[in-house]
Chain A
């Protein structure tokens, strides 16, 4: 039993090394004085200074963030309403049909989705660029949001909504005062998922972008194809740090919320307990 446990630990360590080694390698060379990743010739921040003076790169970063923020926001709105709508469908078959359509979108390869968006936009004579990228990001994020929000709606006891009506709430009041606050965690989770999906999407964006509009993944791809550029390393390092901070922040928030709840429970068992 013990040996097995150790073996599995070893395996985990191995997997982590395999996953993180390339990233570590990349980060290491971002501080190289030279212009290639062949040999480390000395420490310097020069690739970072080039990056910060590269206005094209900075505007692309901003584009990417704007697309991610906007698309995930709109997708969250539409996805949440969609989940609420699916939930109130009376017929089981209708519910399942809509859910299947949603799931098919989830599992179908990005390439297919990207290609079909491209065909769709050119069929409509739509100019490729910011709007087409935004629309397709919204489209592929909606199923993600639905998938995150729907379980929260299902978890909510039916009697809670009845109680809202019972106390005099209209449909709208029940939604805004009871249903939405209860499913907020699911909505947030959906929003974050949609945000990260949009941030690192390559395939779909690759198909539907045009007219000089570019996002980070596209830009890095095209630069990497032209040969090694350690500015990309510097950028990747910064992005890695930002995502690390986001993850840590998320956990801290979650832990904070959790411990607050635990404290409350402790309080209950305190002086007033009977």
Chain B
């Protein structure tokens, strides 16, 4: 692994004795797109503010390129932030806003001008130099905030829910642009969001957080396909989660039957949770199905139908299907062994990874 650009070592943070971050450890590699994903209050902003230098850890160390940075004040860190409310300076116009950091660095007038023009080009707002800030739309303010940050050529760019104030369409557009911008600039982005879809679409790496802890980190595909626990499975995407027991390696028991699966490394008869994504389930006739459910409702969503039903034990099942079915009917469900993902209770990330390594090549 390449040398990490940012490392958190055993970071804890308390506000008046209320723990907000609990022993956070992670490494961030240069040039990648990272996302901190978690529900409100999980501590995402706090982590970002610590990297930026607005907040001090209560204990632990933050390293930047291998050297301690948690004692360096914010204005001396080669890191810039894009704030959720943009935090543009209303008394300055667009080019003055972008030039703010450059002027402080005593850059020459002509260099500043060139840099401002270049940054505006990056965010596709060339020609907006003399606009006043209150004469910009929300999406334009967002871009100017990005231009102002990247003009300083930071090594790391921090983005705290930068798209949350935009409408759905603009939000999608900006996601694509952000991703493209990150790849063009090649700098590290650390992005905060509580929108799992956004996180999956943008990131190289996701840290899923809850209640001051990082529960799981990995690529979007890893986290989607192999969530570590109930919380992550539920938070990322739609999922069916039912209890079961591990009969043996590669064999799991639920709905009164044993099913073939691809997980191993548990104790025999260990109670576990089974995750199957709704899009991995297919509907067939009751007798052909691996299991049977009674259809309770059906919702047309444009691309597909979202069908919910219940099995003999009254566990609820959600199925996404392009085929219509009838409410009240009994139908069969089919799925492949790979579609079943097994989660152990209380397993932490380290043992989870070790167990996966023990049987996956």
Which residues from chain A sit less than 8 Å from chain B, CB to CB? 157, 159-160, 162-170, 173, 177-178, 181-182, 184, 261, 264-265, 267-268, 272-274
Contacts and interface: CB of A to CB of B under 8 A. Distances in A.
B90 A182 contact: yes
A175 to B, nearest CB: 13
B91 A182 contact: yes
A13 to B, nearest CB: 39
Contact of A162 (B87, B89, B134, B136): B87
Contact of A165 (B73, B89, B135, B137): B73
Contacts, number: 74
Interface of B: 52-54, 73-76, 79-81, 83-85, 87-91, 100-101, 104-105, 127-128, 131-132, 134-137, 148, 152
A177 to B, nearest CB: 7
What 9 pairs across the A-B complex have the smallest Cβ distances?
A167-B101, A163-B87, A268-B135, A159-B87, A181-B91, A165-B74, A159-B83, A264-B135, A168-B104
Chain B CB within 10 A, most for which of A160, A168, A184, A261: A168
A176 to B, nearest CB: 11
Contacts of B135: 264-265, 267-268
A46 B344 CA distance: 103
B132 A162 contact: no
A173 B135 CA distance: 26
22 contacts: A157-B87, A159-B85, A162-B54, A162-B74, A163-B81, A163-B87, A165-B75, A166-B52, A166-B54, A166-B75, A166-B80, A167-B101, A167-B148, A168-B152, A169-B75, A177-B100, A178-B89, A182-B90, A268-B131, A268-B136, A272-B127, A273-B137
Contacts of B90: 182
Most buried by A among B88, B131, B135: B135
Nearest to A180: B91
B134 A166 contact: no
Contacts of B87: 157, 159-160, 162-163
A164 to B, nearest CB: 8
Contact of A163 (B73, B83, B134): B83
A168 B101 contact: yes
Nearest to A261: B134
